[in-house]
Amino acid sequence: MPKTVEYSVFSGSESGDILTETVRRTIQSNEALVEVTHAGLCGADKLSKTKNIPLGHHGAGIVRDVGCAVQYVKIGDRVGFDGSQIPCGNCDYCIGGKEQYCAQSEHFEKVGSFATHAVWHENVLVKLPEGVESKYAAPLMCGGAIMWEVLTANDVKPGDRVGIYGIGGLGHVAILMSSALGCDVVVFSSSESKRHDAMATGAKEFHVTHDIVPGAPVAPVQHLFWCRDRPPDFSKLISQVSCSGTIYILAVGLEAVSVPMQLVVKNGIRIQGCSNASRKTMRKMLQFVRLHDIRPWIMTWPMTADGIQDAFKALNERKMRYRGVLVGECGD
């Protein structure tokens, strides 16, 4: 007999207020009830705040109940999650460990990470390893997994010179991970005030830019991670990248931008996108994080309507250093 559970979900609204909704949901045979202990806030969530949909897409929690056919997790397990889609499990992307691109994925209803609980299909959950605290794992399920996907799927190697634009939620994780991987990390920022944080997270060089161009010439990088939330001016950015190097677009707004094709062709530049990571990548990322004791810099707020509103305020005012984490009643 499937169990029905009740929990609270925080949703956005047209006015921007945070609404608290009670959700009644039956746990299907292959689903698990997760008590959310920590949820990460990222730039993508800003788009949901003025819509009447559950907020938050990544986080960590504890399994409190399971459907009768669940095999991967058990009650009491600590798990992480990101996204609100169940991949089909059968297409080429799914069986190739790239299920984030599955075109047949199904959307979960009324589920988000800003909530007391969530009911997820077990196939979207990732067990958290010992030694990785949930408050750090939660924000890494999104930005950390994307960065690991980018680093590993594109053969970024120790010793490679990588450039990072934008030290925010994603950018600081990019510095932490690529420096732990042994890369020569170069940070570009419009603000001198970020120098200390860039060097403290593992950068070897820091360059202040004006309109994305550094004040003095900088040796080009092989991999350039664009982590700012507005689109780049490619004609200026390409000059920072060595011939046959790659520009990775990791955070963007909704605007279209023009690309100087002649420069791209002449210099053999690759422009690479990446929006999400597979569960396989998430597991590998968590192992890497455990091995290197990587901890994102976080600021915490309580998982309440006021706490969520305050966290959004810090994000909008660019005061977040560097990832916001909403902490549930059972979190620490």
Could you give the string, one character per residue 168-197, with x where binding to Zn ion holds by CB under 5 A and - elsewhere? ------------------------------
Neighbour tally for 41: CB within 10 Å: 31
Angle between helices 145-153 and 279-292 (to 10 degrees): 100
Q: Please choose, out of 14-22, 92-100, 281-289, 320-328, the segment that lies near Zn ion by the rule CB under 5 A.
A: 92-100
Taking the complex as a whole, the smallest distance from the CB of residue 93 to Zn ion amounts, in Å, to 5
> Which position among 23, 62, 102, 111 is part of the footprint of Zn ion (CB under 5 A)?
102
**By C-alpha distance, which of 101, 109, 29 is closest to 65?**
29
In the list 66, 125, 142, 326, the residue contacting Zn ion (rule: CB under 5 A) is 142
Q: Is 42 in the site for Zn ion (CB under 5 A)?
A: yes
Contact 301, 327 (CB under 8 A): yes
Burial class (CB in 10 A: 0-12, 13-18, 19+), 196: exposed
Q: 100 Cβ partners below 8 Å, 6+ apart?
A: 83, 87, 93, 275, 276, 277, 278
| CB 120 within 8 Å of CB 32 | yes
Q: Binding to Zn ion by residue 271, rule CB under 5 A?
A: no
Question: Residue 80 corresponds to which amino acid?
Answer: G
Q: For Zn ion, which is the closer residue by CB, 45 or 184?
A: 45
Q: Strands 205-210, 213-214: parallel, antiparallel or unpaired by DSSP?
A: antiparallel
Q: Between residue 291 and residue 320, which ones bind Zn ion under the rule CB under 5 A?
A: none
- The least CB distance from residue 297 to Zn ion, in Å, is 16
Question: Counting contacts by CB under 5 A, is residue 87 touching Zn ion?
Answer: yes
Q: How far is the CB of 40 from Zn ion (least distance, A)?
A: 6
With binding defined as CB under 5 A, does residue 88 bind Zn ion? Answer: yes
94 is an interface residue for Zn ion by CB under 5 A: yes
Binding residues for Zn ion, per CB under 5 A? 42, 44, 87-88, 91, 94, 102, 142
